[in-house]
């Protein structure tokens, strides 16, 4: 079931209502499926029932064959559905109604909200574009630093002959937090 009712915004109430409707649909289809699967055959117009084996009257022993007790199960299922419908109705009643607004005022409010949405969407798009540009710039800087580190490490390895990368001044100095002079003069990529 959905969360209990409390002071909420209209959007939260609508989300709760949608969740409740989804839960009701799921319950309904589960209950109908259970009844179709487990309930004994029933006659609609008084005709004799024919079981899967072909003999008439074979499907009338529901409780002895271990099938669903239709009366008890349908009572429980209907009670669950009724409880769900009442909760949905309470959510509908909790949605604030704007009393006293004419149809034109409602349309005006909708247009203002759409304009606000367009402005906020534009700001979001600008922020995403700026963040993507900054990410690209940082990735390029990282590539320059990595390339320089590899070149300095290779030079250091060749000059020392020890087979490993010499720490030296090839990378960022942990003690000072400064880049080596060879990287400070690297051209800015934009």
Local structure of residue 175 (DSSP, 8 states): T
- The pLDDT value recorded for residue 169 is 45
Report the chain's mean pLDDT, rounded to a whole number. Answer: 78
Residues 6+ apart with CB under 8 A from 145: 183
Whole-angstrom distance, CA of residue 159 vs CA of residue 154: 9
- 3-8 long-range contacts, CB within 8 A, separation 24+: 5/90, 5/91, 5/94, 8/94
pTM of structure = 0.43
Closest CA to 17 of 68, 86, 81: 86
> Rg of the chain's alpha carbons, rounded to an integer?
36
CB 19 within 8 A of CB 88: no
Question: pLDDT band for position 6 (50/70/90)?
Answer: low
Whole-angstrom distance, CA of residue 107 vs CA of residue 119: 18
- The pLDDT value recorded for residue 164 is 47
Closest CA to 156 of 182, 131, 175, 174: 182
- Count the neighbouring beta carbons within 10 Å of the beta carbon of residue 21: 15
- The pLDDT value recorded for residue 89 is 94
Helix (H) or strand (E) holding 21: helix 10-38
Question: Could you tell me the residue ranges of all domains in the chain?
Answer: 1-41+66-97, 123-172
**Residue with tokens 């574009």, as numbered in its chain:** 129
The stretch 127-132 carries a mean pLDDT of 96
Whole-angstrom distance, CA of residue 77 vs CA of residue 80: 5
Using one digit for the tens of pLDDT, what is the confidence trace for 16-31?
999 999 999 999 999 9
**Residue with tokens 């909420």, as numbered in its chain:** 8
Using one digit for the tens of pLDDT, what is the confidence trace for 34-81?
988 888 777 888 888 876 655 555 444 444 456 678 888 899 999 999
In a 3-state reduction of DSSP, which class is residue 119? helix
């Amino acid at each position: 079931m959905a969360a209990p009712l409390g002071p909420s915004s209209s959007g939260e109430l609508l989300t709760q209502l949608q969740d409740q409707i989804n839960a009701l649909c799921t319950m309904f289809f589960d209950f109908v499926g259970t009844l179709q699967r487990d309930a004994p055959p029933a006659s609609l117009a008084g005709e004799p029932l024919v079981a899967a084996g072909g003999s008439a009257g074979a499907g009338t022993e529901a409780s002895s064959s271990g099938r669903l007790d239709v009366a008890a199960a349908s009572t429980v299922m209907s009670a669950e559905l009724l409880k769900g419908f009442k909760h949905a109705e309470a959510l509908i009643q909790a949605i604030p109604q704007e009393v006293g607004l004419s149809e034109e005022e409602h349309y005006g409010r909708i247009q203002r909200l759409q304009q606000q949405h367009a402005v906020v969407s534009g700001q979001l798009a600008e922020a995403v574009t700026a963040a993507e540009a900054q990410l690209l710039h940082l990735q390029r800087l990282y590539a320059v630093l990595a390339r320089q580190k590899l070149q300095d490490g290779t030079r250091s390895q060749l000059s020392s002959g020890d087979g490993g990368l010499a720490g030296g001044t090839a990378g960022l100095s942990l003690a000072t937090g400064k880049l080596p002079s060879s990287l400070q003069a690297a051209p800015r990529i934009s």
